[in-house]
Structures are given as C-alpha cells and as structure tokens.
C-alpha cells in the first residue's frame, strides 16, 4: 500500500480539530483531517450549551484582543437554537439559585458541521469514515506513520483532536498517564420533547451522585437532557438513570446516547515532539462543570499558531503548552480543586444541601461554574 505524505494531519473533526485545521489552512499550510465518523458532529456527546465570546473572555486570560478567535465565536443565527441568558441550579431540596449566562443552545450536528464547512472553505481536506487504527514513531528519524482502515500516511505535524479517549496518545504511549486525560466520567444525554424550561437548569444531589443533571432548552418544546456522574457512583447504568429522570419529568425521549468526559484536568505532556494534543485529548475540560467547547476551539487555534511560529522563526512547539497554561491554567486549577472537594464533601443529599447552603451561591456554586476562584468552605 502506498504511503501518502501530508504536511499536517489532524485526527478528529470536532471543534478542536476543525479550528486548528482552518487556522493552518489560512496560512496556506497543507492540512488533512481524518475523521472516524460518517457525519461530523453525529452523535453529539455533550449538553450542547455553546458559550458566546463574552462568556469566554470572562473565564480565560489573555485572549481579549485575539481577533481570529473573536471572529470564530461570531456564530450565525441558524445554529443558535435558543438563547441561554440564565441558569438555575437546584439543590436536592428543590431550592434554586439563579445566575446570568452568555451562551446559546445549539445542535452539535449543525455546530460542528458549520466549523467543518469553514475549514473546508479555507482549503482543508476532510476524509470521513476513516478511523485511525495505529500511529507509530520511527525511532531513527522520529517521523510518524499513521495507519487507518483505508490508507497509510506520514506527516510533519500530527494534531491529536481525537477526543476524551486520546486515541493518538494511546497508540504512541499506551496507558502512560502523562499523555492521556484522567478521571473519565460517564455521561448520558437525550433529545427530548415536552414542557421544557426557558432556562438552563442544573440539578445536584442523588439525581446525579457526585455529578449533576441538566436540562438545556433548544426550542419551545425540545431540550437536551443529560447527566454525568462519577464512575461507580450509581446503581445501574447511567442511561437507565437518565431514562428514569426523563420519565419523572414527563419528557418523551426522541433519542438517547452516552459518552465520556475527561474531568481530571489537563494532561502533563501536551507536546510530544511533533505531536500536539488539543481539546478533550489534552484534558482541557472544566472538571467542575464539564464544559469544553470553548477550550477546544481556543487550543486548536493555539496549536496552529505554535506551528506557524515554528515554521516562521523556529519557536519551539512547546510554546503551545506554555500558552495553554497562561490562558487556561488558573481556571482549570480552580475547577479541578472544586471538583475534588465536591467528591469529598457531597456524599448524600443532606450533606450536599447543608454544605451548599453554608457556602451560598457565590462561595459555592458560582465559583464552581466560573472557576475564577476555587470552591471553599467559609
């Protein structure tokens, strides 16, 4: 079988992969995306809450004047299904706290498809239904051989945008924790029809032990409903628990699925010679709330710009991880601390209720959501 060489290969056509590829292609760099799925964005594996630019710059540092990223977060009306201006967080007793939000509900099929369209318009080639089966590094030359079900490739730079299971890192390093995201949390989500709220609703307590459940309205009578819990915290499957949650709320389930979210914080080594991990594959998910779309897009852009700088003036690719630490480091550290404290403290509904009332909406829930400061006991 012939071996095809491309300058940059991106594994995965999610928001991290397509953002990275688009940024590279705009600099006339040859980019190929290899995507295992037949359709970009299908199936969705998240709650489909997509932050606007105001929410992003309020959370992360040093990107306020980044014009490319700012433009990337200017989404067309056609993919904004429902404006999310408010969030309600419910304690086990039913008491709720209200917070402002700057986001919208989208459909990942449309959202990811839109990002893929922009990448293709910039000159990126995407090959669908082509899962990577192996990645090998040739010892003498450090060159990479990427093997798929359809072909064999070499490249100058490989971007691991393969998601939470970090397939490229698994091929190259097995179970080495320095290269793979930790604390994989099982999630289940459903598209439902029924009497849905106007707000993004979050539920804490036994409905989702050591995690949370959500309702994200997508229209007058449709929503994304789901839950994520710490592995082993439930009796029975996560999907069964979600089905009962939807039944209790009177929702008709239109479709149901599941996945994993890496909640252990960023991986230790994001740059492995000429391999760069982005998005979920780099562990760039907020451990306390599971949000990762904005980090995926930003990290994809940063990885592209690291390679552009490397080509232009020899700046080491490791500058990418330094930039990630500068932008996300504080928020991710605080978010991880909040999640770990939640694991320890929220053992049952009574303890969860009492502690969150003591902490209050600002010292507890708001900090866990915004990640500017860690959750802590007064």
Cis, bond preceding 43 (omega within 30 deg of 0):
yes
Read off the pLDDT of residues 190-205 as tens digits, 9 standing for 90 and up: 999 999 999 999 999 9
Question: Cα separations (Å) of 280 from 15, 42, 182?
Answer: 10, 17, 11
Round to whole Å and give the CA distance between 248 and 240: 12
Q: What percent of the chain has pLDDT over 70?
A: 95
Domain range annotation of the chain: 3-82+107-183+263-335, 83-103+184-262
Nearest to 366 by CA among 104, 102, 98: 98
Round to whole Å and give the CA distance between 89 and 128: 39
Q: Specify the length of the chain in residues.
A: 378
Structure token digits, residue 139: 């010892």
Q: Is the pLDDT of residue 364 over 70?
A: no
Alpha carbons within 13 angstroms on the beta-carbon side of residue 25 total 23
CATH topology of domain 3-82+107-183+263-335: FAD/NAD(P)-binding domain (3.50.50)
Q: Describe the strand order of the beta sheet including 252-262 as a list of residue ranges.
A: 49-51, 96-105, 82-90, 200-203, 212-217, 222-228, 184-193, 252-262
Read off the pLDDT of residues 296-321 as tens digits, 9 standing for 90 and up: 999 999 999 999 999 999 999 999 99
Residue 159: strand, helix, or coil:
strand
pTM, to two decimals: 0.94
Nearest to 359 by CA among 332, 341, 340: 341
Q: What is the predicted pLDDT for the residue at 378?
A: 35
CATH of 83-103+184-262, one of 3.40.190.10, 3.40.50.970, 3.30.9.10, 3.10.20.30: 3.30.9.10
């Amino acid at each position: 079988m012939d071996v095809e060489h491309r300058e940059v290969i991106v594994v995965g056509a999610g928001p991290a992969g397509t953002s990275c590829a688009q940024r590279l292609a705009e600099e006339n760099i040859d980019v190929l995306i290899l995507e295992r799925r037949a359709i970009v964005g299908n199936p969705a594996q998240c709650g489909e809450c997509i932050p606007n630019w105001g929410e992003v710059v309020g959370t992360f540092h040093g990107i306020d004047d980044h014009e490319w990223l700012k433009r990337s977060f200017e989404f067309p009306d056609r993919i904004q299904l429902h404006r999310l201006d408010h969030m309600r967080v419910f304690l086990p007793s039913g008491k709720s706290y209200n917070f402002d939000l700057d986001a919208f509900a989208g459909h990942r099929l449309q959202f990811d498809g839109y990002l893929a369209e922009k990448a293709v318009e910039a000159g990126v080639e995407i090959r669908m239904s082509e899962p990577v089966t192996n990645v090998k590094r040739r010892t003498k030359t450090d060159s990479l051989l990427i093997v798929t079900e359809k072909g064999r490739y070499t490249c100058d730079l490989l971007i691991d945008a393969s998601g939470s299971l970090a397939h490229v890192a698994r091929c190259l390093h097995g179970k080495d924790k320095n290269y793979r995201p930790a604390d994989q949390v099982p999630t289940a989500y459903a598209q439902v029809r029924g009497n849905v709220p106007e707000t993004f609703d979050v539920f804490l307590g036994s409905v989702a032990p050591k995690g949370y459940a959500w309702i994200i309205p997508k229209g007058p009578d449709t929503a994304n409903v789901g839950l994520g819990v710490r592995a082993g915290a439930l009796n029975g499957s996560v999907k069964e628990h979600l089905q009962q949650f939807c039944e209790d709320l009177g929702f008709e389930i239109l479709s149901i699925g599941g996945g994993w979210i890496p909640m252990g914080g960023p991986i230790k080594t994001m740059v492995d010679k000429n391999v760069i991990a982005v998005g979920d594959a780099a562990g760039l998910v907020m451990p306390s709330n599971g949000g990762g779309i904005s980090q995926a897009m930003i990290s994809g852009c940063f990885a592209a710009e690291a390679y552009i700088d490397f080509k232009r003036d020899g700046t080491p690719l490791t500058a990418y991880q330094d930039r990630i630490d500068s932008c996300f480091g504080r928020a991710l550290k605080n978010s991880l601390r909040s999640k770990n404290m939640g694991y320890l403290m929220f053992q049952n509904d009574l303890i969860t209720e009492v502690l969150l009332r003591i902490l209050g909406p600002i010292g507890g829930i708001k900090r866990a959501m915004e990640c500017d400061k860690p959750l802590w006991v007064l």
